[in-house]
Structure 1
C-alpha cells in the first residue's frame, strides 16, 4: 500500500478473456469530511447532551461544546475560548475522539459533554488539539466520587482508545470525567 493512499480493486479482462485484478491507488477520505459526518451523528443523538454554555459562567457562545460540534458538523473547525491558554483559535476535532464519543453512547451511556476545545485547561491540554472531551453527567447523575458508574465509564473510554482518562480522585476532576485520545 502506498503511504497516504488506500487501494481500490479494478478488474480488467485479459486478451484470453481471463479476469485480471490489480490494486489502484485512491486518496484516503478527507479527515474533515469524516469528522463532519461523525459530528452530525453526535448532534442528532439525544443521549449525548452538548452544553451550550461554559461551566465557568463566562460567556463565549462560539466555544461551547454544542457550538464545537455544530461547527464540525458543518465542515468547519471548532473554536477555543478567549480566556484559554491558547486564545481564540480554530481547531479540527479529531475523528478518533469523535468516534470515541459515539462508541461511549453505543455502549449504553447517556452523558452531558461540558467542554471540547472551549474553556480553560492546562497549557498543553489535549482539549486544544481537538483530542478531548469532558463529561459532567452520566446517565442522568452528576459525576462525583459517589457516582455508581463513573469508574466503568472511565474504563470504557480507555477501551475505546483514550490514553488520558481522569475523574474523581484526580486533581481538578472531582466533578467531571476527562477522556483524551493520543496526539
Structure 2
C-alpha cells in the first residue's frame, strides 16, 4: 500500500514537471493495454544522379530533341522520352530496329553531365538526335547509354555550317573519350560524343 502511494506521488510529480516545462509526451500503452502501433514511415528513395541530371536537362531551355529517328518511327525511344524515363527512375528504351531491338539501357551520369554542361558551361544551344534510340553499329556505346548524338548547334545543322569543331572540343574537355563528327565515316550530319 505504501509502495503504491509512493508510485502515485512520483507519477503526479512527473506530470506536474512535464506540464510546467512543456515536455508532455504522448501516452504510450503499457503492458496488457491495447494501442495503435506507431506507423513507421519509410524515407523516400533518393533519386539517382542520372535521374537528377535527366530532370535538369529536361528543364534546360537551350537543349532540344529530335522528334523523329533516321531509321524509323518509335516515340518510346526518342531522346526526350529517354530522358523522361530516366528522370522517373526507369531505363531508356532502344528502338525496335537495329542491333538492340526494344531493349532497355541506363543513361550514364557522366554522359548526362556532359550534355548538360555543353549548355550551362559552354553555352551551346543544340538538339540531341539520339541517346539509346535509333540505329548504331553493333558495339555502339549508345546501346549502353554512354553516348549522345547532336545534329543542330546554335541554330545550324551539323554539316551545314554548324560550329561542330567547337562542340567536339567541349565534349573532349568534359571527359568524352570518343568524339566523331563531319569528316569521320557515318558522321557527316551529326556529332557523336561518348563517355
TM-score for both structures, normalised by structure 1: 0.78
Tell me how far apart the structure 2 counterparts of residues 77 and 51 of structure 1 sit (CA, whole Å).
19
1:39 paired to 2:54 = yes
- Aligned-pair CA distance for 1:148: 5.1
**Contact between 2:152 and 2:162, CA under 8 Å: does it hold in 1?**
no
Q: What's 2:6 paired with?
A: none
Q: Which runs of 5+ in 1 are unaligned?
A: 1-28
Q: What's 1:133 paired with?
A: 148
Q: What's 1:76 paired with?
A: 90
Tell me how far apart the structure 2 counterparts of residues 68 and 84 of structure 1 sit (CA, whole Å).
17
**Contact between 1:47 and 1:109, CA under 8 Å: does it hold in 2?**
yes
Larger helix fraction of residues: 2
**Contact between 2:147 and 2:193, CA under 8 Å: does it hold in 1?**
yes
Tell me how far apart the structure 2 counterparts of residues 35 and 84 of structure 1 sit (CA, whole Å).
25
Over 4 Å off, 4+ runs: none
Larger strand fraction of residues: 1
- 1:91-141 per-residue CA deviation (whole Å, 9 max, x = no partner) reads 000000000001111111000000000000000000000000100000010
**Contact between 1:37 and 1:73, CA under 8 Å: does it hold in 2?**
yes
